[in-house]
Structure formats: C-alpha cells, structure tokens
Chain A
Amino acid sequence: DAKTTQPNSMESNEEEPVHLPCNHSTISGTDYIHWYRQLPSQGPEYVIHGLTSNVNNRMASLAIAEDRKSSTLILHRATLRDAAVYYCILREIQAGTALIFGKGTTLSVSS
C-alpha cells in the first residue's frame, strides 16, 4: 500500500469547521482513500472513503485533489466528541488485505 503523510496534531474550537489534510503523492489509480478515527479508549471507527470524487456522509466530507495526491477530511462543525486520532489510509480496490495504519493526526477540540 502507498504511504500517507498527516500532521501529528491539530487543534480546533467547538462548532468551528476542521480540515484534516493527508498527502499521498505515490497513490495509484486503484487506491481508495479511507478515513478512520479512534476515540479515546475505543477501537477505530469508519468515517468515510472515496476514489476520485468528493464524498459526503452524515459524519464528514472528503475532498480529493484533482491529481489525487492529497485529500482533506472536513468536519463541518467540530464537537467535543470529535476529539480523536484520525487516520488516512490507502487501500487497493479489491484488496483482501487489511487496513495499514500510520500514526494519524490527533485532533483536540476546545470549548
């Protein structure tokens, strides 16, 4: 799997938008971009994934650069519950193998 680069940490205020960046300059045409997050003392949970087009769901939006070498996870209004480690992961379309995690970005949210 291609590698991703994320900032170690970011800070946000409650009810403000948060943009979490991820660089993946060696992404291949068959790699999906996945985002997971891990709340304190819990297992990771799925947030969103996409291939080429921007994606929206109830949790977040995923903006993918036109050349696919970077992406941004957007939390539209951060809450205290969004404080977590966010992982950006690449995975091949039909891979039977697992998600390979990096260290992710630790998001802190202040009231």
Chain B
Amino acid sequence: NAGVTQTPKFRVLKTGQSMTLLCAQDMNHEYMYWYRQDPGMGLRLIHYSVGEGTTAKGEVPDGYNVSRLKKQNFLLGLESAAPSQTSVYFCASRPTPGTGGLNTEAFFGQGTRLTVV
C-alpha cells in the first residue's frame, strides 16, 4: 500500500515554463488537496477536490490549475512558472467522513521541491 505518491520529487524550472505535478493515492479516498509550504511557514491550501471531476479553490489558487479526471489522481499545473512559486508542494488525501459526520485523518505525500529560476 503506497499511500500518497507525488511525482516528481524535485524539479527546477525556468521562469515562464510550464509543468504538471502528479499526486496519486491508492486508498480510494474521495478528498484530495494541494498545499504549498514556504520556508518557516505552515502549509497553505492551493486547490482541493471532493470527488472525481470536481475541484475548488483554496487560500492561494492564483497561478495554478488542477484537474481530477480519475479518482486516484489529482494534478497540479503551473502554466507559466514564476520565482514566487518556488516552494515545497504537498498533496494530501482523506476518505469521506463516515456516518454521523465523523472526522477522518488526512494522509500526506512526501512533497515536491520546486525551484523556479
């Protein structure tokens, strides 16, 4: 059981280049999330998805797009990378709360370290 897997683990981009970060989970979770973490900061939510074919904006969505074509995958795209997008990106997933609205724990990937020069 691999859990949450992020690809790639490291990447260096030039300003203006585009790329896609892939998050894959094998736990059949409904909810998936993309965060970014800058040095000395907590995680900030970029976009999230509550199910296949759905996406929604988080705290810092500008400059990013996402897609959830398959339940197990959540893609984060940078159309035109900027130095301000240099960060560590984390993906997370969690199952739908069960009957009675019980909270569920989230599982995080190991992160993608992106540098835009």
Contact = CB atoms under 8 A, between A and B. Distances in A.
Interface residues of B, number: 27
B42 A103 contact: yes
B60 to A, nearest CB: 12
Main DSSP-derived SS at the A contact region: loop
A101 B103 contact: no
Contact of B101 (A44, A93, A104): A93
B43 interface: yes
A45 interface: yes
A43 B106 CA distance: 11
B103 A46 contact: no
Nearest to A85: B42
Contact of A93 (B43, B58, B97, B110): B97
B14 to A, nearest CB: 25
Interface string A74-91: 000000000001010001
B101 A43 contact: no
A97 interface: yes
B109 interface: yes
Interface residues of A, number: 24
Contact of B45 (A49, A85, A100, A103): A100
A96 interface: yes
Contacts of A32: 103
Contacts of B29: none
Q: 7 closest pairs, A vs B, by CB?
A: A43-B108, A101-B42, A94-B101, A46-B105, A93-B101, A101-B43, A32-B103
Interface of B: 4, 31, 33, 35, 40-45, 48, 50, 58-59, 90, 92, 97, 101-103, 105-111
